[in-house]
Amino acid sequence: AQKVTQAQTEISVVEKEDVTLDCVYETRDTTYYLFWYKQPPSGELVFLIRRNSFDEQNEISGRYSWNFQKSTSSFNFTITASQVVDSAVYFCALTFGNQGGKLIFGQGTELSVKP
Amino acid sequence: NAGVTQTPKFRVLKTGQSMTLLCAQDMNHEYMYWYRQDPGMGLRLIHYSVGEGTTAKGEVPDGYNVSRLKKQNFLLGLESAAPSQTSVYFCASSYSIGGKGKNIQYFGAGTRLSVL
């Protein structure tokens, strides 16, 4: 079965703290893609990153970094020095090479960054 | 820079009424999708289309129909709305699988639907 689990339903931090959002996936496919999307209070879904199953390099983009580990089927997302504008719901998602691009989403993690 | 546009943004229906949600994309994407978002459940795929004139069922297709008569448009229909269809509906589009960055899905702003 293909599945994405985001065990953290809600996280609350104080501004400038670092925070890690967990994502664990299940799949038997060897070719797959993992994504993170951000949904701010305004409601739209914003693409953050895509990683394919053959590329285990970690990635850093400004205050955002992603750690992909096939050995633990995890694709965790860390925000360094969090800011109030980071407050949003974050979704991890999975798709496969032969599934018409359909995304399987996790339940989402609601991050609240307090000043 | 329109991207993916959904209309309407909000709608209230009575049980049994019908309506159509329209999704339009201007990125020449082959693939289009309709998802629904419910609290605590993430987004779930309703129907999708891999090209003009083709549609397929997703995870939760019951009670919905779709059509893709033009490449840029993907319509989601509710023939007889039920309270269980109260949700936020998102449309997305992408290029076909393969190639760098080609299967990234870009989303519309969503349609908030209430069925009373």
pLDDT higher than 80, residue A97? no
Residue A57 pLDDT = 80
pLDDT higher than 80, residue B34? yes
Mean of the pLDDT values across residues A77-84? 96
Residue A52 pLDDT = 85
- Of A18, A106, A33, give the one whose Cα is nearest residue A63: A18
Check residues A31 and B73 and name the one with the higher pLDDT.
Answer: B73
- What residues have CB less than 8 Å from B101, skipping those under 6 apart? A50
Mean of the pLDDT values across residues B69-95? 95
pLDDT higher than 70, residue A5? yes
Please count the residue pairs, one from chain A and one from chain B, whose beta carbons lie less than 8 angstroms apart: 64
Residue A31 pLDDT = 86
Give A60 to chain B, closest Cα distance, Å: 17
**Residue B42: which of A95, A101, A107 has the nearest Cβ?**
A107
User: What are A42-58's pLDDT values in tens digits?
Assistant: 999 999 998 888 888 88
Chain A contact probe: residue of B43, B60, B106 with most A CBs at under 10 A: B43
Mean of the pLDDT values across residues B18-29? 95
CB burial readout B3-33, b (16+ within 10 A) else e: ebebeeeebebeeeeebebebbbeeebbbbb
Question: Cβ of A101 and B31 within 8 Å?
Answer: yes
> Using an 8 Å Cβ cutoff, are B31 and B96 in contact?
yes
Question: Cβ of A105 and B43 within 8 Å?
Answer: yes
Q: Say if B99 is an interface residue toward chain A (CB within 8 Å).
A: no
Residue A99 pLDDT = 57
